[in-house]
Amino acid sequence: MVIKRLFVTVLLAVLAACSKQLIVTDTPLGQVQGYIENGSRTYLGIPYAQPPVGDLRWKPPQPAVPWPGPLDATGLADSCPQFAPPFNIMMGEEDCLYLNIWTPEQKPRSPMPVMVWIHGGGFTAGKASYTARDGQRLAAQIGSVVVAMNYRLGVFGFLADRQLSAEDSAHPTSGNYGIEDQAAALRWVRDNIAAFGGDPGNVTIFGQSAGGVSVCAQLASPGSAGLFHRAVIQSGPCDTPLSSLQAVSVLGDRLAAALGCDKADDRLQCLRDKPAKQLAKVLPPDPSFAFGEGFTVWWPVLDGVVIPMQFREAYASGRFNRVPVINGATLDEGSLIIWLSHNFLFKPLQADQYIDRLEYLVGSRGTAELVAAQYPLANYADPFEALTEAFSDGFFNCQTRTISTALARHVPLWAYQFDYREAPFFIPGAELKAFHSAEIQYIFGNPMSVTMSSFEGEQAELERVMMGYWSRFAARGDPNREGLPVWPRFSPDDKTLLFDSRITVAANVHRSDCKFWDRIDYKRAAYQ
């Protein structure tokens, strides 16, 4: 019996030593209980707004209310409702407006820079964090507060509808609820982040893909003025035209008709009474993000209120929230999207499909033939490579260049291109090169690999460099720091930093390619 009790005592002691150290932080809304792990203080699932359910479905986010007692912030919250790629599985809950926070274990004497991450996923998928450790390494390594938030997606975040727009005369709009959620999270950061050691006067927003477009939206949104002080756009196709509120309101009509609410006495109440899963299935999004003919496009809306003008127009005119900016893309942006649409489905792209794929992208057969002449199949090893380069140039790299040129006339801007083609991917053998989202893993220090827990060799150096630039930019508004190659401003010399096994600077990146894309009419709003 004595031996048994001794064994239990020792076992409990070992378990206690291995468990996470719980901590409590006081905030204006109440106490938050997180934990210390891997040199980071971690707080997960903190509500930044009220649950957007019931009568709050399709309404601007409402401020979170104080909570009684310590809030358990030791587990991730649900994602917002979505069809999660690559298997298009329905998941998530409407009660999803939560954020996660990571800080260094040891708080410095002075307030720390705050980096707020906006996830990608085509505005139809994704979540603040996929694991509890997503932001740990970045926070611990660079001495910043890292924040990541959920925001409403798909039909819940971007439904435009005539009756929704007329519901509140003080806010006559609809269709940008996800963008408004992001701004609400930034207001929460402004009001609460000091409790976590962050400086509310030094906030950097950064995001990739739809997160990059979200950064562009926050730059263009008058309601977000003063909520952030630097911005990083990663692979955001921000020169893609936004549909007008009037045009995209057709989605509200389609949804109501499909659910039998078009004849209801109270159309909006009928829609709000429908279960979330039933709503989501009516107008499902493109599971491949690019080639899903017949699926619904969910995207921010040019509504005149939250987003008053096209991004390029706002930036060229100087009518935007002027802060220092980093803007860039990866060399092979299109490879992942094409792979998801073809190779992942065991249907590799064939030569006779090339012109059809181009036509779907650019909108007409004549324009597709012009693109095919610019990127002839004979110049590439296979159709996959040809379509990857055409797609990457026209829809990412040249849009990035256009937006950088417009912004650089008014604010300090540093341009980059991620060229490293040995980045790991979750599925070995995919051979995606410098694919869309490849750079994220080096900024956060989390390899996209099922076998690799940390980087080594030249990839560890790439992580050090990218994390160093991003952290310095967040701290000072200029990415340059001692020990890193000089990163020149984009204007007036058209210089771009290239991230590869060696860090180099190049001038006129994609300039000749973009002259071609500027000459053809291919960018169009999803709803005319």
Catalytic-labelled residue, pool 333, 385, 389, 463: 333
pLDDT number for residue 288: 79
By the 8 A CB rule, do 371 and 520 touch? Answer: yes
Q: pLDDT band at 14, cuts 50/70/90? A: very low
Task: Determine the average pLDDT of the residues in 426-437.
Answer: 94
Q: How close are the terminal C-alpha atoms of the chain, in Å?
A: 79
What is the distance between the alpha carbons of residues 325 and 408, in angstroms, rounded to a whole number? 9
Task: Give 64-79 pLDDT, tens digit per residue.
Answer: 999 999 999 999 999 9
Handedness of CA 477, 481, 484, 489 (dihedral sign): positive
Handedness of CA 228, 229, 232, 237 (dihedral sign): positive
Helix (H) or strand (E) holding 370: helix 365-374
Lowest pLDDT segment from 44-48, 84-88, 360-364, 371-375: 84-88
Task: Give 188-208 pLDDT, tens digit per residue.
Answer: 999 999 999 999 999 999 999
The tokens describing 280, both together, are 């989501």
Q: Is the pLDDT of residue 52 over 50?
A: yes
What would the CATH number be for the domain defined by 22-99+110-188+238-303?
3.40.50.1820
Catalytic-labelled residue, pool 40, 79, 129, 209: 209
Task: Give the rounded percent of residues in the chain with a pLDDT score beyond 70.
Answer: 96
Q: Is 404 a catalytic residue?
A: no
Q: Is the pLDDT of residue 86 over 80?
A: no
Helix axes 354-362, 365-374, angle to 10 degrees: 120
By the 8 A CB rule, do 232 and 434 touch? Answer: no
Catalytic-labelled residue, pool 119, 229, 342, 436: 436
What is the distance between the alpha carbons of residues 143 and 342, in angstroms, rounded to a whole number? 42
Q: Where are the beta strands (DSSP E) in 5-58?
A: 21-27, 30-37, 40-47
pLDDT number for residue 454: 95
Q: Is 209 a catalytic residue?
A: yes
Query: For residue 157, which amino acid is it?
Result: G
Residue 37: other Cβ atoms inside 10 A = 17
Which of residues 289 and 23 earns the better pLDDT score? 23
Q: Is 436 a catalytic residue?
A: yes
pLDDT number for residue 209: 98
Task: Give 57-67 pLDDT, tens digit per residue.
Answer: 999 999 999 99
Which of residues 205 and 2 earns the better pLDDT score? 205
What is the distance between the alpha carbons of residues 198 and 192, in angstroms, rounded to a whole number? 9
Distances from the Cα of 294 to the Cαs of 125, 159, 161, 297, in angstroms? 18, 17, 20, 9
Q: Whose structure tokens read 């341009």?
A: 415
What is the distance between the alpha carbons of residues 125 and 381, in angstroms, rounded to a whole number? 33
Query: For residue 399, which amino acid is it?
Result: Q
What is the distance between the alpha carbons of residues 136 and 101, in angstroms, rounded to a whole number? 9
Going by their DSSP bridges, the two strands 145-149 and 98-104 should be labelled as antiparallel
pLDDT number for residue 294: 78
- The count of C-alpha atoms lying within 13 angstroms of the C-alpha of 331, restricted to the half-sphere facing its C-beta, is 16
Among 381, 358, 379, residue whose Cα is nearest residue 370: 358
By the 8 A CB rule, do 313 and 371 touch? Answer: no
Among 92, 120, 268, residue whose Cα is nearest residue 182: 120
Task: Give 343-387 pLDDT, tens digit per residue.
Answer: 998 899 999 999 999 999 999 999 999 999 999 999 999 999 999
What is the distance between the alpha carbons of residues 51 and 64, in angstroms, rounded to a whole number? 8
By the 8 A CB rule, do 438 and 420 touch? Answer: yes
Q: What is the mean pLDDT of the chain?
A: 94
Q: Is the pLDDT of residue 11 over 50?
A: no
Task: Give 215-259 pLDDT, tens digit per residue.
Answer: 999 999 999 999 999 999 999 999 999 999 999 999 999 999 999
Task: Determine the average pLDDT of the residues in 151-164.
Answer: 98
Q: pLDDT band at 528, cuts 50/70/90? A: confident
Going by their DSSP bridges, the two strands 40-47 and 243-244 should be labelled as unpaired
Q: Specify the DSSP class assigned to residue 262.
A: T
What is the distance between the alpha carbons of residues 34 and 139, in angstroms, rounded to a whole number? 15
Query: For residue 119, which amino acid is it?
Result: H
Among 367, 142, 392, 162, residue whose Cα is nearest residue 271: 162
Q: Is the pLDDT of residue 292 over 80?
A: no
What is the distance between the alpha carbons of residues 478 and 465, in angstroms, rounded to a whole number? 14
What is the distance between the alpha carbons of residues 282 and 259, in angstroms, rounded to a whole number? 8
Q: Is the pLDDT of residue 3 over 50?
A: no
The tokens describing 471, both together, are 């952290």
Distances from the Cα of 11 to the Cαs of 4, 17, 18, 123, 265, in angstroms? 10, 10, 11, 47, 65
The tokens describing 259, both together, are 């659910």
Distances from the Cα of 131 to the Cαs of 135, 446, 461, in angstroms? 9, 10, 24
Query: For residue 336, which amino acid is it?
Result: L
- The count of C-alpha atoms lying within 13 angstroms of the C-alpha of 100, restricted to the half-sphere facing its C-beta, is 28
Q: pLDDT band at 19, cuts 50/70/90? A: low
By the 8 A CB rule, do 401 and 408 touch? Answer: no
Q: Is the pLDDT of residue 140 over 80?
A: yes
